[in-house]
A and B are shown apart, each in its own frame.
Chain A
Amino acid sequence: MAGGTQDWRLYKRPFAAIAGAPLFWLLLFFLVPMAIVWLYSFGENAGPADIAISGTLDNYKRAIEWLYLSIFLKSLAVAALVTLICLIIGFPVAMAITFAAPKWRPWLLLGIMLPFWTNLLIRTYALMTLMGTNGYANKGLNALWDGASWLRTFVGMQPLEAWTPVQLLYNNFAVVLGLVYVHLPFMVLPLYSALDRLDKSLIEASLDLGAGHLRTLMKIVVPLAGPGILAGVMITLIPALGAYLTPDLMGGTESQMIANVIERQFKRANDWPFGAALSFLLIYAMFILIALQSMRRDKGREAH
């Protein structure tokens, strides 16, 4: 839309009328509250409901103490692991949808998006009923165990010890599984859109020149789907890093993430300035990630 009659500079008033409302909304409900919280991060508690903005950096000093920094780094590690697992699962899924018959594609995409339309809380509790010590996962394992035990007696061996349920919930494993479950669509959709745009004859050309499927995947498909992969990684990593509900409900005491710590500062500890500093540390980290991504993208554009 370069130049021409559609240039906003030629129609300043209509443009202002259209852009004004969303800009106002963004300013009033996003930037102003964020700015207030940002100012809090430089303040200190002056009373039970009173914060004095004194310009102190104590909150940030406390936030980078090992106690909190370790949780922050752990959150980053969990989010990175979740993103990696989503990528490993999501890529073949996106490939499968791309190469499915056209009449199946909308249904497969619907299958990916359907969980989106269900409340996160309901999805999380549903997953928890599966994974509890009395849940269906353990029941299924129990049945397999009993079957194996019976088989052993059948061939004259000692039966197995009684089944002890596996602790699937309230640990790091549960948090990672829950986050992967929630974030998989975020990964699949950008990957699908990148793969769908890929000229299929490039894949055929690679096969035609003697490459196997694995080499074609690594040398042609993955490099060309690169921007889509990066978009999927960012779009999964950032919300996973700030995840609150999943670690809160499915995690144990040792598996809380940074968002749970922040929540506790605002509520139970009633230490808004420190909570604000922790929040903004998280936001700064995301800014850095996004900046890195856009720098990479610019570099990619220059190369062309």
Chain B
Amino acid sequence: MSDPQPIIQIRNVSKRFGKVTAVDNVNLDIMAGEFFVLLGPSGCGKTTLLRMIAGFELPTEGQIIIDGVDVSDVPPNKRPVNMVFQSYAVFPHMSVADNVAYGLKIRGVGRGEREDRVREALELVKLGGFEDRMPDQMSGGQRQRVALARSLVMRPKVLLLDEPLSALDAKLRAQMQFELSDLQDQVGITFVTVTHDQDEALSMASRIAVINKGEVAQLAGPSDLYEFPANRFVADFVGSVNIFEGKLTLDEPDKAAVECPGIGKVYLNHGVTGPHGADVWIALRPEKIYLHVPGEGKAVRAAAQDAPDGHNFARGVIKGMSYLGDITLYEIKLDSGEMIRVSRPNLSRHDQEDFTWDDRVSMHWRADSPVVLLS
């Protein structure tokens, strides 16, 4: 592919239903060939945004430009995009082949080419040989593949997917995540997916727009979104996180410190460019906290040596545990009285026995682990 350029440009788009603002002045550029995910809690406006790209809703304000053409007033049947619906919307009175051929017939594709393309599309979604099946003879996962084939056969510029994995069971969902990514690589079509599931978003997306209350809370790649959340909403919505309120006491280009009543002095090995003395929040992921049994004080101090003494260190008592097999999650009551969540990989088969309820433990984290959030 040549230089990536926006295939979809969303310009100042707002959508109001009566008094309710579903989408509030959104600006997004989606690049050709991207796997773009709109992520957010239910009711945040992400589906409305997708439906506006498809043409089922018209923006109250703003423009939607697809491949250089302003389609703001173009009806869905005239747009170069196709959609896979949450309910799949496979036509129940048509065979699989007729479902997939439906759009080609409308476009006037000749019988021979049509049959070739239908077969090709069905093979692409691993449904070769299912041509004559009726939809009610198929499982949910298979019906979804029919819906995928029916859209892909149209060779759209953009494929829109509305919560594509929400109706599948956990195993199938994990498998489809990989398959959708593979499929997107194979066909090279831009995918725009809506989901409320952060795992789904992180595993499939090339870029993610987190939507909150109709606005874009952050636009970033999966790892940036997770490791460098822009605000408390994103930090909390994407993954699990501990958030502590504090005051910025030191802010220099190569170091910063935040005084948190909840967790003590937090030291960072980079600057944050925030106003001195301002209220800020510290976000600390559970897996970035090291757990130690008491008496390992020396080891802890040695491990935390990238921070000045007394920083990035806390003590508490284990109040809750949930063993998840690969990791164990601990709920720890800090000496300040606040709770913190720590996860610990079960590296050895006996490891997890070291920590149990009401044990007193120490914690430390590295100076590049905490994130300072200004909002």
Contacts and interface: CB of A to CB of B under 8 A. Distances in A.
A207 B77 contact: yes
A198 to B, nearest CB: 10
Nearest 3 pairs of A and B residues by beta carbon: A209-B103, A205-B89, A201-B89
Contacts of A303: 134
B130 interface: no
A126 B4 CA distance: 72
A209 B86 contact: no
A202 interface: yes
Interface in A189-210: 199, 201-202, 204-210
B240 to A, nearest CB: 34
B102 A223 contact: no
Nearest to B154: A209
B91 A208 contact: no
Nearest to B153: A209
B77 to A, nearest CB: 5
Interface residues of A, number: 19
A212 B77 contact: yes
B56 A204 contact: yes
A90 to B, nearest CB: 22
Query: Which one of A208, A215, A220, A224 has the highest number of Cβ atoms from chain B below 10 Å of its Cβ?
Result: A208
Interface string A289-304: 0000000000000011
A207 B83 CA distance: 10
Interface string A223-256: 1100000000000000000000000000000000
A211 B77 contact: yes
Contacts of A207: 56, 75-77
Interface string B122-165: 00000000000010100000000001001100100000000000
Contacts of B83: 204-205, 208
B362 interface: no
Interface in B72-109: 75-78, 82-83, 85-87, 89, 91-93, 102-103, 106-107
Interface in A170-205: 199, 201-202, 204-205
B80 to A, nearest CB: 10
A199 B150 CA distance: 18
A206 B91 CA distance: 9
Interface in B30-62: 54, 56
Contacts of A204: 54, 56, 76, 83, 85, 89
A304 B87 contact: no
Interface string A155-170: 0000000000000000
B106 A199 contact: no
A204 B75 CA distance: 11
Given A205-B91, A208-B76, A210-B154, A304 B134 contact: yes
Contacts of B77: 207-212
Interface in B149-202: 150-151, 154
B136 A199 contact: no
Nearest to B82: A208
A205 B7 CA distance: 22
14 contacts: A201-B87, A202-B92, A204-B85, A204-B89, A205-B85, A205-B89, A207-B56, A207-B77, A209-B103, A210-B78, A210-B107, A211-B106, A215-B106, A219-B102
A104 to B, nearest CB: 14
A252 B89 CA distance: 52
Contact of A201 (B75, B78, B86): B86
A219 B99 CA distance: 11
B75 A206 contact: no
B82 A209 contact: yes
A4 to B, nearest CB: 24
Nearest to A202: B89
Nearest to B79: A208
Given A208-B77, A209-B151, 19 more contacts: A199-B87, A199-B89, A201-B85, A201-B86, A202-B91, A202-B92, A204-B56, A204-B83, A204-B89, A205-B150, A206-B91, A207-B75, A207-B76, A208-B82, A209-B154, A210-B107, A224-B92, A224-B93, A303-B134
